[in-house]
Amino acid sequence: MPDTLAPPAPIPLTALTDDEILFRDNIRQFADEKIRPHVKEMDEKGIFEKDLIDEFFQLGLMGIEIPEQFGGGGGKFFEAILAVEELSRVDASAGVIVDVQNTLVNNALLRWANAEQKKRYLPKMAADTCGAYALSEAGSGSDAFALQTRAELKGGDYVLNGRKLWITNSKEAGLFVLFATIDPSAGYKGITAFVVEKNFPGFSVGKKEDKLGIRASSTCELILEDCKVPKENVLGEPGKGYKIAIETLNEGRIGIGAQMIGVARGAWEFAAKYAQERKQFGKPIAEFQGIQFQIAQMATEIEAARLMVYNAARMKDAGVNFVKEAAMTKLFASQVAERVTSLAIEIYGGYGFTKDYPIEKYWRDAKIGKIYEGTSNMQLATIAKLVLSAK
Catalytically active residues are 373
The alpha carbon of residue 219 and the mean position of all alpha carbons in its chain are separated, in whole angstroms, by: 13
> Of the candidates 361, 356, 355, which has an alpha carbon nearest to the alpha carbon of residue 342?
361
**What are the Cα distances from residue 181, in Å, to 80, 186, 187, 232, 376?**
31, 9, 8, 16, 26
Rounded CA separation 233/229 (Å): 7
Count how many Cα atoms sit within 13 Å of the Cα of residue 346 in the half-sphere of its side chain. 11
How far is the CA of 153 from the CAs of 159, 164, 342, 360, in angstroms?
Answer: 6, 20, 51, 49
Q: Residue 188: how many CA atoms within 13 Å on its side-chain side?
A: 10
Tell me which H or E stretch contains 251. Answer: helix 241-277
Please state, in angstroms and rounded to a whole number, the distance separating the CA atoms of residues 31 and 167.
Answer: 24
| CA 337 to chain CA mean position, Å | 14
Query: Crossing angle, helix 77-90 and helix 241-277, to 10 degrees?
Result: 40
Radius of gyration of the chain (CA): 21
* CA-based nearest residue to 157, from 124, 117, 116, 201: 201
- C-alpha 10/C-alpha 352 separation (Å) is 29
Question: CA-to-CA distance for 162 and 180, rounded, in angstroms?
Answer: 8
